[in-house]
Amino acid sequence: MYIKSIESLVAIANEQNKKISDIVIDIEAKSEKTDRQAIIDKMTSYYDIMKESVENGKKDKFNFVTGLQNECVDIVEKFYKAKKSILGETVGEVVTAAMAVSGYNACMGKIIAAPTAGSCGIMPAVLTVCENRGYKKEDIVKSMFTAAGLADIIAQIATFAGAGGGCMAECGSAAAMASSACAEIMGGTPEECAHAFALSLSAVLGLICDPVAGFVEVPCMGKNVMSAVHAIVSAELACAGFKSVIPPDEVVLAMKEVGDGMDERFRETAKGGLANTPTGRAIAEKLLGRINK
Ligand code: SF4
């Protein structure tokens, strides 16, 4: 990608009266010296792997390294099937899918890292639920280019790495990507997609990375679930006309500032936050024979 700002990407889309996804597909086809269909076919194969990871994550019996949350998907599915949820069936589907893929990754299942393995539950949960709600697969696949195009600005300015910018960089970026995709799927304009991206990201600035005992399980699965729901809410807010007061590019700059200023304890070292609680340290000691210092 060669677009240097979200503002430019939106402006090009508006000038050409196209969706952001169409602009990104054109750029990718040119850069890969191929045609649009080849680029779309490749993305379709990634979406199919995402769908498989949802299904596999739901049906597989987990055997986590920590053994701490082996029953997680069963428990959650049972709750939603019992119709106990205040938020309802769709949220239940999002929650279950995000947890299934996140758990599947923790157990070494095949996933698509979008943008990272730790945050891999968010995009599949949001996109597959859109397909379950009747949106066309081809539009869902196209929306992944909008997510990728906007996320490329994060890649250029900030980071996707928890070790660089905390969980804000992983689950925060994934939520922003999923939110922009969801906005486009729902018929949002380029500006609305950009605002969905910004609203989603701005709400999680400062989110730390504190994996207990260093495993991508606790609190990662919960963060995937919350981020997936948050992504859809941000998309709906943007499509309703609610804007990020801080322009999307400035939100990414703020993300960079927050990540750079984040204490090392909160950047995937498992030395701070939940990893450094008495229980977190006891789990680490039991599993790894050491206490984080
Ligand atoms: S808490 Fe850290 S390891 Fe877990 S998903 Fe977030 S960034 Fe990844």
Instruction: State yes or no: pLDDT of 141 exceeds 70.
Output: yes
Q: Specify whether the CB–CB gap between 212 and 274 falls below 8 A.
A: yes
Average pLDDT over residues 105-112: 94
pLDDT tens across 216-227, in order?
A: 999 999 999 999
CA–centroid distance, 126 to ligand 1, in Å, is 19
Looking at the DSSP bridge assignments, the partners of residue 267 are 209
Residue showing tokens 């397909």: 131
CA distance 192 to 181: 10
Average pLDDT over residues 5-34: 98
Instruction: State yes or no: pLDDT of 196 exceeds 60.
Output: yes
Structure token digits, residue 36: 């649009």
Q: Tell whether omega for the bond before 248 is within 30 degrees of 0, i.e. cis.
A: no
CA–centroid distance, 210 to ligand 1, in Å, is 7
Report residue 68's pLDDT band, with 50, 70 and 90 as the boundaries: confident
CA–centroid distance, 167 to ligand 1, in Å, is 5
Question: Residue 4's pLDDT is what?
Answer: 94
Structure token digits, residue 96: 């279950």
One-letter amino acid at 137 equals K
Instruction: State yes or no: pLDDT of 116 exceeds 90.
Output: yes
Q: From 83, 76, 75, 181, select the one nearest 126 (Cα to Cα).
A: 181
Question: Residue 60's pLDDT is what?
Answer: 76
Enumerate the domain spans of the chain: 6-288
Structure token digits, residue 170: 């992983």
CA distance 158 to 164: 9
Average pLDDT over residues 79-86: 93
Looking at the DSSP bridge assignments, the partners of residue 209 are 267
**Closest protein CA for atom 6 of ligand 1:** 167
Average pLDDT over residues 118-136: 98
Query: DSSP 3-state assignment of 267?
Result: strand
CA distance 124 to 207: 21
Q: Specify whether the CB–CB gap between 281 and 291 falls below 8 A.
A: yes
Residue showing tokens 């979406």: 47
Instruction: State yes or no: pLDDT of 291 exceeds 70.
Output: no
Instruction: State yes or no: pLDDT of 293 exceeds 70.
Output: no
Q: From 148, 134, 230, 224, select the one nearest 186 (Cα to Cα).
A: 134
Cα 252–219–231 angle (5° rounding)? 45
CA–centroid distance, 79 to ligand 1, in Å, is 26
The CATH label, of 1.10.4100, 1.10.287, 2.40.30, 3.40.1190, for the domain at 6-288 is 1.10.4100
Question: Residue 1's pLDDT is what?
Answer: 61
**Closest protein CA for atom 3 of ligand 1:** 216
Q: Tell whether omega for the bond before 115 is within 30 degrees of 0, i.e. cis.
A: yes
CA–centroid distance, 148 to ligand 1, in Å, is 20
Show the ligand 1 pocket: residues with CB < 6 angstroms: 118-119, 162, 167, 170-171, 209-211, 216, 219-220, 223, 268
**Closest protein CA for atom 8 of ligand 1:** 118
CA–centroid distance, 268 to ligand 1, in Å, is 7
Question: Residue 61's pLDDT is what?
Answer: 76
Backbone torsion region of residue 77, taken as left when φ is above 0, otherwise alpha when ψ lies between -120 and 50, otherwise beta: alpha
**Closest protein CA for atom 2 of ligand 1:** 209
Report residue 44's pLDDT band, with 50, 70 and 90 as the boundaries: very high
Residue showing tokens 């950047």: 267
Report residue 292's pLDDT band, with 50, 70 and 90 as the boundaries: very low
Please choose from 167, 210, 227, 266 the residue to mutate so as to test ligand 1's pocket, defined by most ligand atoms within 8 A of CB. Answer: 167
Question: Residue 78's pLDDT is what?
Answer: 92
Instruction: State yes or no: pLDDT of 290 exceeds 80.
Output: no
Q: What percent of the chain has pLDDT over 70?
A: 98
SS3 of 202-259: HCCCCCCECCHHHCCCCCHHHHHHHHHHHHHHHHHHHHCCCCCCCCHHHHHHHHHHHH
